Structure 1
């Protein structure tokens, strides 16, 4: 999953909870607000203790190395499948999660290839990888009509009008997948011919880009230094809000691309070694309550898999078509995990993309 752009720091108090009433979770950085965490502690009459990671690989490596003491982890869909293959998860007892009924069936369908029967994972945070852009600048450049297509970052004829004003993610999976979708191919393809075709698209577009950028594209877009950013929906939401607060003389927008977008579904899961699966079930049920789920979207601009959350959205969130998207409409595709051979081939092609002309 991507960096979730909120500033709240988690400050949890033990309260009156006894020593044994503690839920230990291994969570994404800044994925849960202090207010929500405190309300859960009051609800369960327990203490919530969190460790953090910023990447699925980091979480998987730590668990594989023998990390103990966690009750829950929050893997993206493909990493759910990895944990299942490793035998690290226990099924969710839906009798203990009455709010399971609030989950959008569309997200359960997206999760199903990674979690057959939707037995082990409950969707909680959803993001899209798409294009954010300076609407004002693109209109002046005459390319605003291309914002709904990956052509905005891959077509040299379009890029010639906005040269030096585009950044793309420094991520082999995300950028190669975007190029594959632009070509009408499966974004998870590991076919050598498909990867070569995607690499060729990137090489032709690269001279027009300002940078590969994972770290500062929010700021660069917000201040107007770049006009187009390939990034994550919650980050682009933050850029849009920051520009409004700063009263910039331009409007920022973001939208899905017609050829398709990578969708990341992060999930609540219970480890087989959990000391307190009872508290873990309480946490899942708590987070599937509409009001509690809505705080995620209201604070970080993430798409929400809980149908009853929408009633608690702030007006601007409710009006945002990306945050309230219907997973059954559009081409929203999750990344799949790769085997060793496919990873090696992708790494080889990516190295050529980065160092080549």
Structure 2
């Protein structure tokens, strides 16, 4: 049925000239095929996507001179970095007729007051995904970062744990477990977090930003440090395949990272007109709901809420209640000297 719908939408789309292409640089698995096809049919243009799996990867590619991307989808702290580097075009709010659909809580973010450069698209929480059946058998907790950091637990999980290949995300988890904020910049706390990670590393299978979705869904791994929308997909894949186990995911009680990903127009954009059309298309409630219903992300668009399936909207790891939100923090950008120290510590983590 889905394939037939996609074929029909593409057949109905007006023929697009070669230059009527919107170039989108985005996280893996963050725009559903259904949404992309519907936009192309509505726009009469093409949507070409390139993918990254970490903000640092995206920033490094741009720093190396990558150009030609119209739209990017960075997290708040990366938006702040791009603004400071004068890498973004200002948005034309007159072209964004549905901008008022952004919920008040997201309409004036610290990283871009007044949404001059960025439009919030989706929210995610960095948390723990797990094989609930296996962990119940082992008697292990699923509500604490101890699951990936404590040898007493990891001895039962050796070779069955993956963590994100992201210096900021993994250090943030370690800092929270040690009782510090995710944006703590005390070098001694960073070194303690490094030591915690190095103690646990021999028990982990790998550092992964994307393969953990499949590995968790088929049972190759039992615990994954990753993003809430990825865990949503892993659970759906396991159910669809009729796996003899259940996938669960939970926000650790010590606290975690909340990410707000945003549409921004890069300074090298060749088609800012198409970029504005895409953003406004995605601001419509029925389109904005797709990222929740089909991808499993949280949603900063209040017009989307009536279109989000109740079982998705009721998932507290995707839409955290107020008491949980108090334990979540957004990553902030680092100063150059701090970034250098973080990079050195990360190198130590990866090579030892």
- Please classify the TM superposition score into its range, dividing by the shorter chain length: 0.7 to 0.9
Work out the CA distance in 2 between the residues paired with 1:67 and 1:172. 22
Work out the CA distance in 2 between the residues paired with 1:257 and 1:325. 12
Label 1:211 to 1:88 Cα distance change in 2 as closer, same or farther (>3 A).
Answer: closer
Work out the CA distance in 1 between the residues paired with 2:154 and 2:339. 30
Which stretch has the larger CA shift, 87-96 or 75-84?
Answer: 87-96
Determine the structure 2 residue equivalent to 1:310: 305
Q: Does 2:279 match 1:319?
A: no
Q: Does 2:119 match 1:122?
A: yes
- Please, which runs of 5 or more residues in structure 2 have no aligned partner? 1-5
Determine the structure 2 residue equivalent to 1:259: 254
Give the CA deviation at 1:330. Answer: 3.5
Q: Tell me the TM-score normalized by structure 2.
A: 0.84
Determine the structure 2 residue equivalent to 1:98: 97
Determine the structure 2 residue equivalent to 1:343: 339
SS in structure 1 opposite 2:316? coil
Q: Does 2:24 match 1:22?
A: no
Which stretch has the larger CA shift, 12-21 or 219-228?
Answer: 12-21
Instruction: Give the paired residue count.
Output: 343
Give the CA deviation at 1:212. Answer: 3.3
SS in structure 2 opposite 1:235? helix
Give the CA deviation at 1:210. Answer: 3.6
Determine the structure 1 residue equivalent to 2:106: 107
Contact 1:290 1:310 in 2 (8 A): yes
Work out the CA distance in 2 between the residues paired with 1:115 and 1:240. 34
Determine the structure 2 residue equivalent to 1:244: 239
Determine the structure 1 residue equivalent to 2:3: none
- Measured on the aligned residues, the alpha-carbon RMSD in Å equals 3.1
- Please, which runs of 5 or more residues in structure 1 have no aligned partner? 1-7
Label 1:348 to 1:84 Cα distance change in 2 as closer, same or farther (>3 A).
Answer: closer
Determine the structure 2 residue equivalent to 1:47: 45
Work out the CA distance in 1 between the residues paired with 2:277 and 2:210. 35
Contact 1:97 1:285 in 2 (8 A): yes
Work out the CA distance in 1 between the residues paired with 2:86 and 2:220. 47
Contact 2:29 2:295 in 1 (8 A): no
Contact 1:303 1:324 in 2 (8 A): yes
Listed one character per residue, the Cα deviations across residues 253-282 of structure 1 (whole Å, up to 9, x for unaligned) are 001112221222221123456555444333
Match of 1:353 among 343, 349, 352: 349
Q: Tell me the TM-score normalized by structure 1.
A: 0.83
Q: Does 2:330 match 1:331?
A: no
Work out the CA distance in 2 between the residues paired with 1:172 and 1:305. 26
Contact 1:24 1:69 in 2 (8 A): no
Q: Does 2:201 match 1:206?
A: yes
Which stretch has the larger CA shift, 210-219 or 261-270?
Answer: 210-219
Work out the CA distance in 2 between the residues paired with 1:205 and 1:58. 25
Q: Does 2:71 match 1:72?
A: yes
